[in-house]
Chains A and B, each alone.
Chain A
Amino acid sequence: GEKVEQHESTLSVREGDSAVINCTYTDTASSYFPWYKQEAGKSLHFVIDIRSNVDRKQSQRLTVLLDKKAKRFSLHITATQPEDSAIYFCAASGRAGGYKVVFGSGTRLLVSP
């Protein structure tokens, strides 16, 4: 079945810098790639997603890039703020897996002032 690997377990940046979180997946049939954020002591909430019919999607300070050939996708956060500090989870989903969502292990992003 699908496996999603999240390469950075922790990432520390200074406020105002950019942050990039990288993920890879194994199932070429995966077609949907959401990202979720989990702040300390809270549950997950959705931040952005990308579908396989595009290779880039931007929402304000967030951009997701998808490289289907390399089976790799990434979340780029520009002009980071302390409130961006959280654990970010990438995920993948596709028809072959019955559309269940498989999550990566999470990247703890720390934005210091």
Chain B
Amino acid sequence: NAGVIQTPRHKVTGKGQEATLWCEPISGHSAVFWYRQTIVQGLEFLTYFRNQAPIDDSGMPKERFSAQMPNQSHSTLKIQSTQPQDSAVYLCASSFSGTGGARAEQFFGPGTRLTVL
């Protein structure tokens, strides 16, 4: 079991460019979560999917951020027109959601460190 896979591990973009981050959840897990971690803001929830359906995207900056889960084996987080304040570590996690939604142990990937110059 390779765990949650995130690619790329590091990404550097120029201001205004687009960034796409990839996440491959653990096989058999039906819930996928995206978080953003910075020193200042800490660990912020962005969005989550259950059985590929978007359940809660209340943490997503609406204008430039979007997330998709086209199949059970991967999810993407896309940031359009990146800004320096988007610089952060983006973490993906997956869990076996069972009947309790997010009430199950989450397995985190190594994260993608995004740097916007």
Binding site for B on A (CB under 8 A): 1, 31-32, 34, 36, 42-46, 49, 51, 89, 93, 95, 97-106
Contact = CB atoms under 8 A, between A and B. Distances in A.
Contacts of A99: 55-56, 100-103
A106 B43 contact: yes
20 contacts: A32-B102, A34-B105, A44-B91, A46-B105, A46-B106, A46-B107, A51-B103, A93-B103, A98-B55, A98-B58, A99-B55, A99-B101, A100-B33, A100-B55, A100-B56, A101-B33, A101-B45, A101-B106, A104-B42, A106-B43
A43 B100 contact: no
B109 interface: yes
Contacts of A101: 33, 45, 102, 106
B55 A105 contact: no
Contacts of B108: 36, 43-45
A8 to B, nearest CB: 14
Enumerate the 4 nearest inter-chain pairs by beta-carbon distance, A residue then B residue, closest first: A99-B101, A99-B102, A32-B103, A103-B43
A-side binding surface: helix, strand, loop or mixed? strand
Given A32-B103, A34-B105, A93-B102, A100 B110 contact: no
B49 to A, nearest CB: 11
Contact of A95 (B43, B45, B101, B107): B101
Contacts of A93: 101-103
B48 interface: yes
B105 A49 contact: yes
A98 B43 contact: no
B111 interface: yes
A103 B42 contact: yes
B33 to A, nearest CB: 7
